Structure 1
């Protein structure tokens, strides 16, 4: 899983699994689910107001098997 935040557009993109997104559907204002051709969700996108929809300054992960963690800061 990959989580990317883009401060210049205040957008958040969460890639859940590998695979090409075939379609995207806005499920709530500013929130888009991306699907494979088979209908599986591969990504979640928060457009232009991510910091108003979620606290982008904190990330908490519990109970996840951790193989590797990387951190990069834009700028």
Structure 2
């Protein structure tokens, strides 16, 4: 699992799998679930994340994940 926060768009993407997403479903305003070809959840996209997630209380060091910041980067590949 990886968390990617994009401050320029205030979006948070939680990548749960390396499998590609083929379908998305908006479950509430600005929150989309991404599914693979088998219907399994592979990611969660949260728009306006700073209004929905308390970023200061999100204790990333205790989560079993890798955190990537794209601040100041122009190429995300």
TM-score by length of 2: 0.76
Who is 1:59 aligned against? 58
Q: How many residues align?
A: 70
Q: Over residues 28-53 of structure 1, what are the superposed CA-to-partner deviations in whole Å (9 max), with x where a residue is unaligned?
A: 11000000111100000012x11000
TM-score by length of 1: 0.78
The alignment's C-alpha RMSD in Å is 2.1
Q: Which has the higher strand share?
A: 2
CA distance in 2, matches of 1:6, 1:46: 10
Is 1:27 aligned to residue 27 of structure 2? yes
Larger relative contact order (CA 8 Å, sep ≥ 6): 2
Question: 1:73 offset after TM fit, Å?
Answer: 6.5
